[in-house]
Amino acid sequence: MRVVIAEDSALFREGLARLLEGAGCEVAGRAADGRELVKLVEASVPDIVVTDIRMPPTHTIEGLVAAAEIRDRHPEVAVLLLSQYVETTHALKLLERGGDGVGYLLKDRVSDVRQFVEAVRRVAAGGSVIDPEVVSQLFARKRRKDLVDELTERERETLRLMAEGRSNSAIASSLHMSEKTVEGHVRSIFSKLQLEPAAEDHRRVLAVLTYLKA
């Protein structure tokens, strides 16, 4: 798996590189700002980009802007956003452009090496990962009346874990139910959200986006 890293802190950038190389990834490039990131991706077209949201010169959304440009030019390149703080609006902006191969994690998660590497691999493979803290804050927003309100409490719990990128077996373990029961909840969620039959992964992403936007 080939990775390009974008982070303005040299120490954190090199730490990410060593961590990923230690996990068997090839670090194809290191960038200190959004412009450099876009150039590196154009030159190497990696499997995934791991980028901070806030980078020079204004330290606001340069990483997010670069990620959006990369997704427009190279939709096959996955993007994992990192942030020091929970920035739900920024997370949704990129997710709304397409949930496949997109992730959003707080930098604190990097300290759990196994979990972080697993998240990178999942996003690079076309999945999605959203930090549990980001999910919690999004869920705490006042929801408008829509299809999501038709979900039962158990279905909401299932969908919340889906939003974190959990598999059916992981959801079953977390909620202390059988995997068959989880599959039933997932089918019910698809039905209540009026998601037409399609690939399972695609409908999971659409269900999560519908819930988070609500």
From 3.40.50.2300, 3.10.450.50, 3.90.580.10, 3.90.650.10, which CATH number describes the 2-129 domain?
3.40.50.2300
Tell me the torsion sign for CA atoms 208, 97, 126, 115: negative
- pLDDT given at position 91: 63
- Examine the pLDDT at 144 and tell me if it is beyond 50: no
Left if phi > 0, otherwise alpha if psi is -120 to 50, otherwise beta: which for 101? left
Residue that wins the pLDDT comparison between 209 and 175: 175
Global model pTM greater than 0.85: no
142-213: CATH topology is Arc Repressor Mutant, subunit A (1.10.10)
Mean pLDDT computed over every residue of the chain: 87
Where does the pLDDT of residue 1 fall: very low under 50, low under 70, confident under 90, or very high at 90 and above? Answer: very high
Helix, strand, coil share (%) of the chain residues, nearest 5 = 55, 15, 30
What are the residue ranges spanned by the domains of the chain? Answer: 2-129, 142-213
User: Residue 141 in contact with residue 65, Cβ under 8 Å?
Assistant: no
Give the residue-averaged pLDDT of 66-73.
91
Q: What is the pLDDT of residue 147?
A: 77
Please name which of 57, 60, 73, 59 lies closest in space to residue 49, comparing C-alpha atoms. 73
Residue 127 has pLDDT above 90, yes or no: no
- Say if residue 142's pLDDT is above 50: no
Share of the chain above pLDDT 70, in %: 86
The pLDDT score that the predictor gives to residue 203 is 82
